[in-house]
Chain A
Amino acid sequence: QVQLQESGPGLVKPSETLSLTCTVSGGSVSSGSYYWSWIRQPPGKELEWIGYIYYSGITNYNPSLKSRVTISVVTSKNQFSLKLSSVTAADTAVYYCAREDSAHDAFDIWGQGTMVTVSS
């Protein structure tokens, strides 16, 4: 079955750029049936959708983060990535990658999540 796995540094300094990668196994990021999203959850708080990418490179970002977010896809590696610039402590969160079924507009498969702490 399809599985997603996040990877990247668990500690990022303030003002630097957070970079995470999601590796897709058991399926293809090039499938036209899905969008590939990043979602985060600060400790003890609710989920926040960050943005998505389609295999063709089409992206859509949460307006509240749009100026700092870049999501990209590398189909040859079956991966997609997140970059969030100029981070502050408010960006400390568990970051999840997730597959969105475009036919149903729901996140049907999630990675296990990776905790990223912003601290000097």
Chain B
Amino acid sequence: AQSVTQPDIHITVSEGASLELRCNYSYGATPYLFWYVQSPGQGLQLLLKYFSGDTLVQGIKGFEAEFKRSQSSFNLRKPSVHWSDAAEYFCAVGARSGNTPLVFGKGTRLSVIA
């Protein structure tokens, strides 16, 4: 069965510190992998996605993620967090074709302190 695990429900980091949000997935085939960010009351914003090729993917707002097939992981990183990064982050996995929907993790809430 397809599933996404985000082990950390809530993470607090200091502004300027580095960040890593964990994501592990279970999928039968080679998946598409995504990271979304959601601010309170807002929709989803795509940060980055992995389809194929270079396993280190660069996204918007200074985020990057690395696909590690051997670990079934797609962790999100940022070298220096800004206060505006406080939000909910969702990892998702999906098929490369067909009509199956994305499967989302439960999300990680990021708080940023001064």
Indicate, yes or no, whether A interacts with B. Answer: no
| B residues in contact (CB < 8 Å) with A | none
| A residues in contact (CB < 8 Å) with B | none
